[in-house]
Amino acid sequence: MRKIIFLFSACATLYLAGFFRSGPLMILFFAELFLFIGMFIVSKLIGRRLSFDVLLSDKKVKKGEYTTGCIKIKNKSLLAVTKFELSVVCKTNGVSDNKKHTLKGYVGARSVTDIEVQLSSIYSGILSVELGQIKVWDYLGFFASKKKLSGGGTFVVMPSQNKIDIRKNQIFLGFDNLDREAVNRPGNQPPEIYQIKTYTPGDSIRNIHWKLTARMDELMSKEYMDEVGTELFFFIDLRSSDSSPKKLDAFWEIISAISLGFLSSDIPHCIQWFSVEEKQTVSHNIKKYEDYSEMIESLIITGVIDGTKTVSEEYMSEFYQHCMKNESVLMFNTDLILSYNENIIKEFSEEDYEQEIKKSTICI
């Protein structure tokens, strides 16, 4: 509207200059013309030297809680930006919330402006903040130049702290303390190796895997099953054909509730999943809350994968090995089906999983 009024005024000036054959009015018309063209050029120039950075105060936050973010806008130009509009896109687990978030402000010449934003999500998973585009106006508000932006930030939205009631049957959960002492007596079978990992300070020198150390050119340490003390394995099948935020929210929440249920019942457990990128099984031994927190964050960051692009035999090899050893194995998949030693014990609903978590009792 402002541009139309200015153009109408310039045309009126030109008409009057011609009608009255007035030199000053003609000069005024050319001044208006140059001003109009100048504002167009300014709108193109002042937005080119802006840089953006998204800073998040927390890398993880509980579902439903707010975290503070800051979008830092730096103007490297000698010209101030008196008006801009910045669009921001929020995505949960890679899916946009379909809401347009527009931030307005200004930034002086060779200065920095910080815009604070409050972020939260009703779904657990990965919440990403992506910069969309910026519109920068000239000083008279005639023209707005647009520029697409890249970059942003992500943080993990942790599941609620709900837990499923777990009741254990010692017959199915491996050795009790007396059995473990018997297994470790001299002359009995040597302890089974649980995993081989990078050596960390505090590991026994006797546990160093010297052949693999020579091959890998770094110290590798063996970790034995009796050292881990794991009574139960919990395998997570991350293959999925539905990655909607609501479905994934139910998936992460149920895994979290089961693991917290084990902790509440003092059941050490090992949560495993297959990493397609690393082409190996990732294991987390859960004995205390800090182990759980580290595991669930790592699992959410890994995310689900397209099940059609993985080989079933390779992906499930670790699960089958546990089954062949007659070990206690839980498995949970993205269809929200929980099985114990290949027998289905619970099917959760995407809509009512919260009530099912509160009311369910799992006996293993």
Pick from 285, 287, 239: nearest CA to 263: 287
Lowest mean pLDDT among 144-148, 209-213, 267-271, 300-304: 209-213
Question: Domain with 95 in it: what CATH number?
Answer: 2.60.40.10
- Side-chain half-sphere CA neighbours of 55 within 13 A: 11
Indicate the SS3 state at residue 151: coil
pTM over 0.85: no
Mean pLDDT of the chain, nearest integer? 82
Residue 296 lies in a domain: yes
Q: How many domains does the chain have?
A: 3
Residues 140 and 242 in one domain: no
Looking at the DSSP assignment, which residues form a beta bridge with residue 154? 128
Q: What is the pLDDT of residues 343-363, one digit of tens each?
A: 888 899 999 999 999 888 877
Note whether 37 and 137 are same-domain residues.
no
Range of the domain at 26: 2-45
pLDDT over 80 (residue 230): no
Amino acid at 31: A
Band of residue 181 on the pLDDT scale cut at 50, 70, 90:
very low
Residue 225 domain-assigned?
no
User: What's the pLDDT score for residue 241?
Assistant: 78
Residue 190 tokens, joined: 């040597």
Same domain? For 237 and 358 the reply is: yes
pLDDT at 329: 84
Residue 177 has pLDDT above 50, yes or no: no
Spatial separation of the C-alpha atoms in residues 355 and 349, rounded to whole Å = 10
DSSP 179-209: HHHHHTSTTSPPPPEEEEEE--TTS-GGGB-
Q: Is the pLDDT of residue 187 over 60?
A: no
Determine the pLDDT at residue 96.
Answer: 76
What is the model's pLDDT at position 134? 92
Higher pLDDT, 150 or 178: 150
